[in-house]
């Protein structure tokens, strides 16, 4: 166990320490615990400790292992504790609920860029506020989840939950509060405080409601990693017109956490890596070549059995499997997935996405290491239910000059 003087004993100089146990009071060994930079494992007695600089750390959190339930409150997974300000030492104990059954088979409802705006927002280049559309999406997800009774359901939102307006976080969370399943999040560029002095300050409102921005969880046989790959510019060096500028990729802090975390993760694992903007191939652009610390994360992920990269941000649906598309693929173990905006295209029509397809989200079914997905058109159109759609309906193709969806 990293940093322990001997198994089961706490060093009085450890800034963070505690115990991880199950709901029967039994210690759980091998659970990953992190302060957002360093990562350690619990020992045979469930104990852990970290020699952290609490002036720089805001959270301590666990990677919930396979075999245990993901505890949630109002739809938000509870895997973290906030470190109180001005503390010199903090004890954080975690209790994990033991799962009944293997949990290898489950469904994920994956959304992207709900990007809610105030109902009082005027007509501008964004055209519509989307809170009502977001509420319809949440209703659709709850109704679908209620039909899935033979396996767990989870959800992932790929960022841009709000649109620059930090006062809307409560509205966003209101949509999740009666979900029967937890929703994991990544932070998007519009979820940052646009005029904050630096990136650390820019994430404050996201952290207030949703916790740390870099973390992981095991669901069944697959390992999920959630990363903040938006680094806001230092606003002290920008003009007012450049407020909100950012770079894509991983900050030095995110890289340090990722390197430490993956040193504890079996290379035979399939990884589901989630960020707001894609780590890999986009239309006409490959972030793995030029984004911040791209060579570091691609090097780390190349060692794993297979990597599914999931992202939003571009508002178009796009899929790229390197091994299928390239003769000599540089990332043969990677498939890049990008989701369209779940609440419809900005500036056009709330019912369609930028590529002309209907608004909706992905339904990902996982069974062991077998991962399949399909598109789910939202069952509502501005509050009106779309009737008589079969479960496998994706979209309709029309001949030229006919009204309707176009492929």
Give the DSSP per-residue string, 278-347. -SS-BTTB-HHHHSBTHHHHHHHHTTSSEEEEEEEEEES-EEEEHHHH-SS-S-TTEEEEEEEPTT--TT
Which pLDDT belongs to residue 10? 81
For tokens 């990008």, name the residue: 338
First to last CA, the chain: 54
Q: Strand order in 105-111's β-sheet?
A: 183-185, 153-157, 105-111, 360-367, 370-377
pLDDT digits (tens, 9 = 90+) for 290-312: 999 999 999 999 999 999 999 99
| Stretch(es) of the chain classified as CATH 2.60.40.1120 | 16-96
- Helix, strand or coil for residue 61? strand
Q: Hey, which bits of 175-221 come out as E strands?
A: 183-185, 215-219
Give the DSSP H or E segment for 200: helix 199-202
pLDDT bracket for residue 11 (50, 70, 90): confident
- 16-96 in CATH: which number? 2.60.40.1120
Task: Calculate mean pLDDT across residues 151-179.
Answer: 96
Where are the alpha helices (H) located in 103-151, listed in sequence order?
131-147
Task: Calculate mean pLDDT across residues 136-147.
Answer: 94
pLDDT bracket for residue 345 (50, 70, 90): confident
Backbone angles phi, psi at 136, to 5 degrees: -65, -40
Q: Return the CATH superfamily for domain 105-385.
A: Metallo-dependent phosphatases (3.60.21.10)
pLDDT digits (tens, 9 = 90+) for 371-406: 999 999 885 555 555 555 666 666 666 666 555 443
| Stretch(es) of the chain classified as CATH 3.60.21.10 | 105-385
In the chain, the largest separation of any two C-alpha atoms, in whole Å, equals: 75
Query: Cα 4 to chain center, whole Å?
Result: 31
Query: Higher pLDDT residue, 327 or 392?
Result: 327
Which pLDDT belongs to residue 284? 87
- Total residue length of the chain: 407
């Amino acid at each position: 166990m990293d940093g322990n003087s001997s198994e089961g004993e706490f060093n009085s100089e450890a800034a963070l320490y505690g115990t991880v146990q199950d709901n029967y009071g039994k210690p759980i060994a091998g659970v990953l615990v992190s302060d957002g930079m360093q990562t350690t494992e619990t020992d045979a007695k469930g104990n852990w400790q970290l020699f952290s600089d609490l002036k720089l750390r805001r959270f301590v959190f666990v990677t919930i292992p396979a075999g245990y339930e993901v505890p949630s409150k109002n739809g938000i997974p509870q895997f973290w504790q906030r470190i109180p300000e001005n503390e010199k030492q903090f004890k954080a104990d975690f209790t994990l609920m033991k799962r009944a059954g293997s949990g290898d088979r489950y469904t994920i409802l994956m959304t992207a860029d709900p990007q809610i705006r105030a109902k009082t927002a005027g007509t501008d280049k964004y055209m519509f506020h989307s809170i009502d559309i977001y509420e319809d999406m949440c209703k659709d997800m709850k109704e679908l989840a209620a039909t899935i009774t033979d396996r767990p359901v989870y959800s992932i939102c790929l960022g841009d939950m709000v649109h620059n307006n930090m006062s809307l976080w409560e509205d966003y969370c209101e949509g999740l509060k009666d979900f029967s399943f937890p929703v994991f999040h990544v932070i998007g560029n519009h979820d940052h405080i646009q005029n904050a002095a630096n990136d650390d300050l820019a994430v404050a409102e996201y952290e207030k409601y949703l916790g740390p921005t870099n973390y992981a969880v095991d669901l069944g046989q697959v390992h999920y990693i959630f990363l903040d790959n938006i680094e806001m510019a230092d606003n002290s060096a920008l003009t007012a017109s450049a407020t909100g500028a950012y770079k894509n990729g991983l900050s030095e802090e995110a890289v340090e956490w990722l390197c430490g975390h993956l040193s504890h993760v079996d290379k035979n694992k399939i990884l589901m890596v989630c960020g707001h903007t894609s780590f890999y191939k986009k239309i006409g652009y490959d972030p793995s070549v030029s984004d911040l610390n791209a060579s570091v994360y691609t090097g780390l992920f190349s060692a794993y059995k297979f990597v599914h990269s999931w992202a939003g941000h571009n508002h178009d649906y796009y899929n790229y499997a390197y091994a299928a598309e390239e003769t000599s693929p540089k990332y043969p173990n990677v498939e890049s997935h990008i989701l369209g905006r779940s609440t419809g295209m900005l500036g056009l029509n709330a019912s369609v996405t930028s590529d002309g397809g209907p608004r909706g989200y992905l339904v990902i079914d996982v069974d062991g290491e077998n991962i399949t997905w399909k598109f789910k058109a939202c069952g509502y159109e501005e509050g009106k239910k779309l009737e008589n759609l079969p479960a496998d309906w994706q979209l309709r193709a029309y001949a030229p000059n006919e009204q309707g969806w176009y492929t």
